Amino acid sequence: MEAVAEAAAPSPALRNSPKMTSRKTDVYYGESQALRDVDLDIGENQVTSLIGPSGCGKSTFLRCLNRMNDVIDGCRVEGEITLDGIDVYRSGLDVVQLRARVGMVFQKPNPFPKSIYDNIAYGPRLHGIAESKSELDDIVELSLSRAGLWEEVKDRLTSPGTGLSGGQQQRLCIARAIAVNPEVILMDEPCSALDPIATAKIEELIDELRQNFTIVIVTHSMQQAARVSQKTAFFHLGNLVEVGDTEQLFTNPRDERTQGYITGRFG
């Protein structure tokens, strides 16, 4: 298949060795196959965006990267997905450890019904990252600052996280994810429930976070993919059709289906 050939070809976007790789990944929900033979490299300290029409398997692929599909009944993953060269589906691998290294932000902001402080402190407490209360305070402040939320909430850390606006909630969720200091952050359409201003803030944030984290983002907005990502992968009907530098993929797609999707002929 052409997709395989493309993924295997050295891409100029891959200056560093890939942080995560996927080889011959198939995903099944019960009898139906959701992903077919996906080969994809995710470069370190890069933003990789996954685009494609609804139901093309891009979210499924994202959820494979930190094994969030484990909780879905009847979901089966075959092939190989590695993080720093280690197979994440290897038996005996601790899922808790994996998810501490590969964090996730969801489509709809989902703050816990706790205070803003406790929302951020949840992960560090879980993994015993902070030695003392003051260290935990520092982590909370740092995470909120990195998510660009500190100035807005520093005076009301004890008020409930669910009381924030949608955009603030989503930044809270990003802060919550980076509080455990992961290496990779997965974002599943993080702006689809937000207004344009909040979206712009999150996009700005993603661009800053790239310096410290590897980011994979699923998005329905091709403008967003073009704005925030360095590398783009186009999924269609469970196949990885094309992957390449974002600029190249949007200006000069190699595959006819990619061309059709980005020019709005289907999807």
Partner 1 sequence: MNSFLLIAILLVLASVGYQFGQRRARSVSGGHPSTLHSRPQYYGFYVALWCGIPSVLLMALWLILEPHVAEWMLISNLPEDIQSLPEDRLSLLLNDVKNLASGNIVSREVDASLQAAADGYASVRQIGNAAMTVVAIAIAVLGLAFARKRISPELRARNLVERTVSVLMIIASTIAILTTIGIVMSLLFEAMRFFARVPWYEFLFGLEWSPQTALRADQVGASGAFGAIPLFAGTLLITFIAMCVAVPIGLFSAIYMSEYAPQRMRAIVKPMLEILAGVPTVVYGFFAALTVAPFIRRTGESLGMTVSSESALAAGVVMGIMIIPFVSSLSDDVMNAVPRALRDGAFALGATKSETIKQVIFPAALPGIVGSLLLAMSRAIGETMIVVMAAGLAANLTADPLEAVTTVTVQIVTLLVGDQEFDSAKTLAAFALGLVLFAVTLTLNVIALNVVRRYREKYD
The interface region with partner 1, picked from 10-18, 147-155, 173-181, 230-238 by CB under 8 A, is 173-181
Number of residues in contact with partner 1 under rule CB under 8 A:
28
| Residues between 76 and 135 with contacts to partner 1, criterion CB under 8 A | 95-100, 103-104, 106, 108, 110-114, 122-123, 126-127
183 is a contact residue toward partner 1 (CB under 8 A): no
Binding characters for partner 1, 187-226, by CB under 8 A (x = yes): ----------------------------------------
- Count Cβ neighbours within 10 Å for each residue of 219-241 and write b for 16 or more, e otherwise: bebbebbbbbbbbbbbbbebbbb
Element (H, E) at 197: helix 196-209
Contacts of residue 41, defined as CB under 8 A and 6 or more positions apart, other chains included, come to: 7, 11, 14, 18, 20, 21, 22
173 is a contact residue toward partner 1 (CB under 8 A): yes
* Nearer residue to partner 1 within complex by CB, 64 or 262: 64
| Spatial separation of the C-alpha atoms in residues 215 and 184, rounded to whole Å | 6
Are the CB atoms for 220 and 193 separated by under 8 Å? no
- State in angstroms the smallest separation of the CB of 108 from partner 1: 6
* Nearer residue to partner 1 within complex by CB, 23 or 101: 101
- State in angstroms the smallest separation of the CB of 80 from partner 1: 22
Nearest alpha-carbon partner for 19 in 67, 81, 61, 63: 81
CA 57, distance to chain mean position in Å, is: 14
Are the CB atoms for 213 and 182 separated by under 8 Å? yes
Nearest alpha-carbon partner for 60 in 81, 87, 85: 81
- State in angstroms the smallest separation of the CB of 113 from partner 1: 5
- State in angstroms the smallest separation of the CB of 1 from partner 1: 32
Nearest alpha-carbon partner for 124 in 136, 112, 134, 115: 136
* Nearer residue to partner 1 within complex by CB, 176 or 231: 176
- State in angstroms the smallest separation of the CB of 2 from partner 1: 33
| Residues between 136 and 165 with contacts to partner 1, criterion CB under 8 A | 162
Are the CB atoms for 185 and 214 separated by under 8 Å? yes
Q: Please count the other Cβ atoms lying within 10 Å of the Cβ belonging to residue 211.
A: 7
Selected binder of partner 1 within 7, 81, 177, 209 (CB under 8 A) = 177
73 is a contact residue toward partner 1 (CB under 8 A): yes
Which residues of the shown chain bind partner 1 in the complex (CB under 8 A)? 66, 68, 71, 73, 95-100, 103-104, 106, 108, 110-114, 122-123, 126-127, 162, 173, 176-177, 180
